[in-house]
Amino acid sequence: MIIHVTDEGAGFILKDVPDPLAEENLLSTSGRGIFLMRAFMDEFDVVKAETGGAEIVMSKRLPGAGSAPSNGSGSGGHHAGPHQGA
């Protein structure tokens, strides 16, 4: 799944965003959104949008997506049972 979010404002440069885990930012009431998006998404980037603002592009590999066998047949011929051992 790929998500694009475009901001029509002035935009921002990702490397200039303060680290929310830095000691001087720990008690800040804002600045956690990018930190959380980076933590939960598989890929995250900020690029300049066509509107002049920022465009956040993030992707998440969903369970089962792309987990088909490499031979492309859709059935691997063997099935792992629900109990994989203790």
In a domain, 15, yes or no: yes
* Cβ contacts of 22 within 8 Å, gap of 6 or more: none
Range of the domain at 34: 2-59
H helix and E strand count, the chain: 1, 3
d(CA 31, CA 44): 16
pLDDT at 64: 87
73 in any annotated domain: no
Report how many domains make up the chain: 1
pLDDT in tens, 16-70: 889 999 999 999 988 899 999 999 999 999 999 988 899 999 999 999 866 554 4
The pTM for the full model equals: 0.64
Query: DSSP label at 50?
Result: T
